[in-house]
Structure 1
Amino acid sequence: MFDSSCYYISTQRKTWDDSRRDCLQRGADLVVIGNRQEQAFLTGFTEVAWVGMTDRRREGRFVWVDRTPVNRNQLQWARGQPDNSNGAEDCGDLYTRIDFIGLNDSACTTLRQWICERKLS
């Protein structure tokens, strides 16, 4: 738990779309990271996990699953990211490696763990 949200970090690996479906079935959604404090809290639970951002609708314009734009200057991105490698990286993940820490764009079909978020009222 952090601030007014409760989180679920999966132990399985799924695609971004299947991960989102799992979150929705839990009454949550893929995490929307609002600031660096929340990002710091989530960093380190797993080496890499899907988060709720994508640029599928318009390349280079990331939006969260709640349709708010991702403010790229407010959050920490992994070095050189986003890079749309091979023109096929439209979904967001959070990396925690010694030499690669922060948000990243990956192919949506890659199997990863994921982080769900449920806002508490």
Structure 2
Amino acid sequence: MDDLEIRSMKNTENVKEIPAARSTKYRVILILGVLLIVAFLVVVILTGLLFTYYKSIKEEMTHLKNEGSTDRTCSEEWIHYELSCYYMSSNRQSWNVSRKECQNNMADLMVINSEEEMMFLRDNAFGKYLWIGLTDVDGTWQWVDGTPYDPNTTFWKANQPDNWAGHGHGGGEDCVATGYDWNDDHCLSKLLYVCEKKISC
């Protein structure tokens, strides 16, 4: 076999190898493309499942939160704490009218018996100034439900009560309102109020 024939055979082999190599290359690219598409679909499906799971968890948490805030023990818009239900008004009234509105709902203005109850009020009043059921209209501080006034369990603001007479209503300040701390105010001042209803056992 001469050199010409040998070269001719090698060229023929090279020609045969090129299509085979190209075919393998295209096959690899095709496989990689399919794998990328599959991976993309898996990511999309997993993202959808995670979103659905997150949404269901969020809905469950909202449901549980709503169940807690609208405790069956108390009416709608009333908050359950310990052995009472509390209502924070959205309208402003004088102390006497506020008390009457509480009584119309089988309740009375809030009586604060402990530091924990005061903290509860602070947490739920969000800085609003509210009438509570403490007055000295008869000359001595008294709670509306007859609970004895304990000077050791009070939350007066500094320099209060001051019985200030410069409010323009005449007389002193005989009714108590609270935001973060207690303050005596004129009973005719129009403020928000908080009602308390004892839970029947």
TM above 0.5? yes
Residues 15-47 of structure 1: CA distance to partner in whole angstroms, max 9, x if unpaired?
Answer: 000000000000100001111110110014142
Question: Greater shift after overlay, 64-73 or 9-18?
Answer: 64-73
Q: Give the structure 1 partner of residue 116 of structure 2.
A: 37
Q: Give the structure 2 partner of residue 71 of structure 1.
A: 150
Q: Which has the higher contact order (CA 8 A, sep 6+)?
A: 1
* Structure number having the greater helix percentage: 2
Residues 88-109 of structure 1: CA distance to partner in whole angstroms, max 9, x if unpaired?
Answer: 100011123xxxxx11110000
Q: Give the structure 1 partner of residue 27 of structure 2.
A: none
Q: Give the structure 2 partner of residue 95 of structure 1.
A: 179
Residues 76-120 of structure 1: CA distance to partner in whole angstroms, max 9, x if unpaired?
Answer: 111111111115100011123xxxxx1111000000000000000
Alignment check: 8 A CA contact 1:39 1:75 kept: no
Question: Greater shift after overlay, 37-46 or 17-26?
Answer: 37-46
User: Which residue identity lines up with residue 62 of structure 1 in the other structure?
Assistant: W
Aligned partner of 1:50 among 131, 141, 145: 131
Query: How far apart, CA to CA, are the structure 2 residues paired with 1:68 and 1:57?
Result: 15
Aligned partner of 1:6 among 73, 79, 85: 85
Please, which runs of 5 or more residues in structure 2 have no aligned partner? 1-79, 166-170
> Does the residue aligned with 1:85 lie in a helix, a strand or coil?
coil
Alignment check: 8 A CA contact 1:36 1:74 kept: yes
Query: How far apart, CA to CA, are the structure 1 residues paired with 2:90 and 2:104?
Result: 16
Query: How far apart, CA to CA, are the structure 2 residues paired with 1:90 and 1:69?
Result: 17
Which 4+ runs in 1 deviate beyond 6 A?
A: none
Identity of aligned residues (%): 39
TM-score by length of 2: 0.55
Q: State which structure, 1 or 2, has the greater radius of gyration over its C-alpha atoms.
A: 2
Please, which runs of 5 or more residues in structure 1 have no aligned partner? 97-101
